[in-house]
Amino acid sequence: MKLGVNIDHVATVREARYRGLLKGEPDPVAAALASEAAGAEGITAHLREDRRHIQDRDVFALKASIRTRLNLEMADIPEIVEIALKVRPGIVCLVPERRQEITTEGGLDVCAHIKGLSETRCRMNDAGIEVSLFIAPDPDQVEASARVGCQFIELHTGAFAEAFDEPAERDRQFQRLCGAAGLARSLGLQVNAGHGLNYENVHWMQRIPGIVELNIGHSIVSRALSVGIERAVRDMLHLMNTPGSFQ
């Protein structure tokens, strides 16, 4: 599995002190470059409509600076779509977005928005940008994603992560992820996963065949406060891909 490091919360710390300024620390681009040096194969950043962490300038700077692939998380709204078409990241991940939430709380309702998502998918693909849809591990949402024509889905692993200390519910949520991943692959979709994954639960993802990439941010940034970003990334990669790390 590949690791995409989400550097949103590096920007969260910066914005706590330097909001509205064109400078400040820590620098999300520096964190991205350090993540790449440690083995990350992609960088993820969410340009939210309210610009609570990542700013427009960060997205353009990331695209110009990193050597791996930029995964731009975004809501399907006209302003952000136009920015994405100017930046031309390697891939966009379309996510739901609410002003009141602390972080993305759930998956897209693809079933209810097939037409609009299909139109945005076409525009992105025409510009050479791959498209992923961030969805709950629900068969109806997987099938709707295939109808949209996207290249990837990203399975929302939040329910699994939240239930990790409750074995029965954890196992139920894990089976949902396995079933959704299998269905997606049978429909020709590539499968990523993310949300709530950390150093305690990430090794379970080894048991889901065919996962291409995990996108992980908060846990890595949190650990980086103690050990540095490069060590935090290397530790995560070890747990993701070392046979036998599953306990």
Question: Residue 216 forms beta bridges with which residues?
Answer: 5
Q: Which residues of 58-75 are buried (b: 16+ CB within 10 A; e: fewer)?
A: bbeebbeebebbbbbbbb
**Spatial separation of the C-alpha atoms in residues 92 and 81, rounded to whole Å:** 10
Q: Provide the 3-class DSSP secondary structure of residue 185.
A: helix
| 195 in active site | yes
| 73 in active site | yes
| 46 in active site | yes
Catalytic residue among 73, 130, 154, 213: 73
Given a contact cutoff of 8 angstroms between Cβ atoms, the answer to whether 40 and 4 are in contact is: yes
Among 233, 239, 191, 238, smallest CA distance to 216 is for 233
In the block, tokens 């709707």 appear at 144
Residue 31 CB neighbour total at 10 angstroms: 23
How buried is residue 198: exposed, middle or buried, by Cβ count under 10 Å (0-12/13-18/19+)?
A: middle
Catalytic residue among 9, 46, 53, 156: 46
- Annotated catalytic residues are 46, 73, 195
